[in-house]
Amino acid sequence: MPEARLGALPDGIYGVELERRIEAAAQAVAARLESETLPQAQLAIVLGSGLGGVVDLLDREPRVHIPYREIPHVPSATVAGHVGELVAGSLGAIGALVLSGRAHPYEGYSQREVTILLRACLQLGVRTVVLTNAAGGLNPEFDPGEVMLIDDVINLSGENPLLGPNLDALGPRFPAMADAFDPQLRASARDAAKRVDLALREGVYIMLSGPYYETRAEMRMLRLLGGDAVGMSTVPEVFVARHAGARVLGFSLITNKATDDVEAGATHEEVLEMGRIGGERLVRLLAELLPELA
């Protein structure tokens, strides 16, 4: 379909324009890294609310910090708990790009916009993507502070970043999502959890658009649909990573109960506080796991 007729894409960021923005972001990051003695980036890690401590898993030197505002066409992260910078470094011989914080569609961006940076990282050679988020626990057996290995997703956000003309240079028109999360990576995560004595939950993550925490009726509905955790991010990143043929692994840090018997709804302050507490567990797991993922 000619791009001029795509009235359902009012942001104007699709097709040739989207490809141009991804290329510009990739070139800007590459230019900042070209003088550094870093290995080729193979791994990208996207950090959710309150999980900035994962950056400290990188080797101390060299590290390159690039604020999102200095990368063209990349929206800044404005929500508390999201630093908003790309940190390039290494895990031994493995080159890694850590996206410390993310912009969300509910901040006024399209899903195409919020995934430009990850797509730029994929264009720079990343082949394995680790996604993390803070999420409400729909499964009544899950407690705040626990870590859930994501085994599948349900997209109820009302959008997806692959809408519009396909970027053939990045991936196929109809990417398969039946095994969106790599089985071998999930097996490695389970093994790493055992080695660090971490009880690892597993389940389905559902994305809603936000920006509000779920009503009681929505909590009941989402649980009936098969959801174990719910949040407002991550799924667009899954789609663009799989579109590019990268392997994907995902974790949700359960920060609050999202069951309809809770006395009161969650607050962002409570989510951040539980993120700080439970985030230590996820960092411990990732410290054991990440060096194996290249």
Note if 268 is an active site residue.
yes
**CA-based diameter of the chain, in Å?**
55
Question: Given 268, 270, 273, 294, which residue is catalytic?
Answer: 268
Three-class DSSP category at 130: strand
Q: Cα torsion at 247, 182, 76, 158 (round to 10°)?
A: 120
Residue type, 164: G
Residues 207 and 95: beta-carbon distance below 8 Å: no
Question: Given 207, 256, 258, 288, which residue is catalytic?
Answer: 256
Alpha-helix runs per DSSP H in 11-156 = 15-33, 111-114, 116-123
Note if 269 is an active site residue.
no
Residue type, 8: A
Question: Given 106, 160, 166, 294, which residue is catalytic?
Answer: 106
Note if 148 is an active site residue.
no
Question: Given 104, 110, 205, 213, which residue is catalytic?
Answer: 104
Question: Given 107, 159, 202, 273, which residue is catalytic?
Answer: 107
Taking CA atoms, 215 is separated from 20, 100, 104, 258, 293, in Å, by 40, 29, 20, 9, 38
Note if 202 is an active site residue.
no
Note if 104 is an active site residue.
yes
DSSP string over 170-219: T--SS---TT-S-HHHHHHHHHHHHHTT--EEEEEEEE---SSPPPHHHH
Question: Given 25, 232, 241, 258, which residue is catalytic?
Answer: 232
Question: Given 25, 96, 134, 274, which residue is catalytic?
Answer: 134
Enter the tokens of residue 10. 């009012």
Question: Given 233, 243, 252, 288, which residue is catalytic?
Answer: 233
Three-class DSSP category at 63: coil
Name the residue among 273, 272, 256, 229 with its Cα closest to residue 82. 272
Note if 243 is an active site residue.
no
Note if 35 is an active site residue.
no
Question: Given 14, 26, 82, 133, which residue is catalytic?
Answer: 82
Note if 177 is an active site residue.
no
Question: Given 28, 41, 49, 258, which residue is catalytic?
Answer: 49
Note if 134 is an active site residue.
yes
For the annotated catalytic residues, the residue numbers are 49, 82, 104, 106-107, 134, 232-233, 256, 268
